[in-house]
Amino acid sequence: MKQYRFKCYAAGLFFTSVVNAADDEKAVENFAQNLNQGLYSVERGDLGRGSKRYHITYEELDNGTAGVNIEETGARVQVGTASVSAG
């Protein structure tokens, strides 16, 4: 069983809900059930898109948190190549 966090921006509001499911497809179904049953949190916010546009995203959570590993890179790690080199 996996855990997913859904975020939805619609009608000038921000909805969020966490669901458990075996796969992505079932997670979407469970999110729809949560919306119908009122199992979500809501606050004002529209991502600057206005109240007539909507936006839905979801992410798979790892142990209840988003999968961000801060140990993958250290401080001052250079990424890519410099476009201009001095000296």
Tens digits of residue pLDDT in 15-31: 999 999 999 999 999 99
Is residue 10 very low, low, confident or very high in pLDDT (cuts 50, 70, 90)? confident
The candidate with the shortest Cα–Cα distance to 25, out of 54, 52, 58, 47, is: 58
Write the DSSP assignment of 26-76 as a string of letters: HHHHHHHHHHHHT-SEEEE--TTS-TT--EEEEEEEETTEE---TTSS-TT
Query: Contact 34/26 with Cβ under 8 angstroms?
Result: no
Q: What is the pTM of this model?
A: 0.65
**Other C-beta atoms within 10 Å of 15: how many?**
19
Span 33-87, pLDDT tens digits: 999 999 999 998 766 666 677 888 999 998 755 554 444 444 444 445 555 555 5
**Secondary structure element (H or E) that encloses residue 85, with its range:** none
